[in-house]
Amino acid sequence: MSQSIYYEVIDPEGLNSEDRVEMVVDIYESADAHNPNTETEKSNTKRTLQRQQTGSRCYRLTLTAVCLGLLSVLLLIATIALCIKFSKLMTVKEQFQTERDALQKKLFQLEKDINKPEWRYFNYSVYYISTETKTWSESREDCRERGADLLIINSREEQDFIEKFRRGQRSWIGLTDNETEGVWKWVDGSALTTEFWRSGEPNGNRNEDCVITGYASDPVYSWADFSCNNKFVWTCEKRIF
């Protein structure tokens, strides 16, 4: 099948200069519009820009996710730290409340003891002297039932106070060497450091392991060791603080 192609021949001589320039421009533009290389370059450029934009968005999203993750970790650490601190504060509060309750109980008991005629106050302690006689062990048991213990003397002032308080009676105090002969200890386990022995005492008798005060005319140096089975009045001491 044959086709006939006809071309319209335009005589350039019949065109003016402006028409010829426009015709040339149209030819070049038409050629560029149908240039396959130009289309490919444009397409490649577009794809490159799209990839760059996509990569940039991915980077921003990743950075945002990392920042949020770090903030979450920091918030978690801060929350744990606050919980630990709060727990410690609650423990301290409970300890303070326990100590406060104990002090209130002591103060209440102190008020009761001070108001009793048989108790006396001296230098952060209250003292009780019995009106009956018992052995050393029985005397100590009575003191413990009163929330106290047998007297511990730590100073000359305390010895002077006791001598006035006991009213001339021989009284058990909380000193003994019943664990080791010759090693005198107070009932709280502390060693003897301040001594007010009567002259010639202690005399070293193995059957005399407990101590009384008031065994001399001297109001200060009046301690003596006796058998713990002897019966005397006794003096209890209750420390306040």
Average pLDDT, the chain: 81
Taking residues 218-238, report their average pLDDT: 94
The reported pLDDT for the residue numbered 127 is 93
Q: Which residue has the tokens 């306040």?
A: 240
The reported pLDDT for the residue numbered 31 is 47
Q: Is pLDDT at 228 greater than 70 in this prediction?
A: yes
Does a structural domain hold residue 226? yes
pTM score: 0.58
Residue 185: strand pairing partners:
176, 191
- Distances in Å between the alpha carbon of 180 and those of 63, 202, 207, 221? 79, 14, 12, 24
Q: Are 198 and 218 in contact (CB under 8 A)?
A: yes
Tens digit of pLDDT for each residue in 121-141? 898 888 999 999 999 999 999
Weakest mean pLDDT among 94-108, 148-162, 220-234: 94-108
| Tokens describing residue 137 | 């062990």
Taking residues 78-96, report their average pLDDT: 91
Does a structural domain hold residue 146? yes
As for how many domains the chain has, the answer is 1
Does a structural domain hold residue 169? yes
Does a structural domain hold residue 185? yes
Residue (of 135, 129, 165) closest to 237 by Cα position: 129
Q: Domain range spanning residue 202?
A: 119-239
Does a structural domain hold residue 42? no
Does a structural domain hold residue 161? yes
Separation of alpha carbons 178 and 134, rounded Å: 18
Q: Which residue has the tokens 């006689």?
A: 133
Q: Which CATH number is 192's domain given? A: 3.10.100.10
Residue (of 162, 169, 179) closest to 237 by Cα position: 162
